[in-house]
Amino acid sequence: MHEFSLAQTVLETIVSVAKQKDFTKIKKIILKFGAFALIQEDQFRFCFEIVQKSIKMTEKTELQIEWVPGELKCLNCNFEGKIENLPQDHNELAPIFQCPKCKSYKTEILSGTETVIDSIIV
Ligand SMILES: [Zn+2]
């Protein structure tokens, strides 16, 4: 499960940062997810809750998720820009995105695949 391992990685990372800086509790974390990272927010929140409860330091950490729009380049018509409507089916391992202009699938992802920890508030 993609979301579960991501939740684990995020929490392990913030715990190790907190330990380095002698923080004992983490009030809130802000994550940035790219639209093309294909993370299902509900599922991620569900997994995050399970993992956070197993760590004392993050038991009550509030989770904020900010979405970064995805940008695509079309190799067929040279369209470059943000994609607003992503396919709802996120189960594919290597999803291919359709150009909004010419409907071609010959596309390249320019940005929007990131999953980063933006800030940790203690
Ligand atoms: Zn195109």
| Domains with residue ranges and CATH for the chain | 2-121 (3.30.2320.80)
- Tell me the C-alpha distance between 83 and 112, whole Å: 10
Q: How far is the CA of 98 from the centre of ligand 1 (A)?
A: 8
Q: How far is the CA of 96 from the centre of ligand 1 (A)?
A: 13
pTM, two decimal places: 0.83
Q: How far is the CA of 81 from the centre of ligand 1 (A)?
A: 10
Phi, psi of 63 (to 5 degrees): -110, 125
Closest to 59 (Cα-Cα) out of 18, 16, 11? 11
- Tell me the C-alpha distance between 59 and 68, whole Å: 27
pLDDT at 115: 93
Residue listed under structure tokens 């596309």: 107
Q: pLDDT under 50 in the chain at which residues? A: none
35 CB-near residues (< 8 Å, 6+ apart): 67, 68, 69, 70, 83, 86, 112
Q: How far is the CA of 15 from the centre of ligand 1 (A)?
A: 43
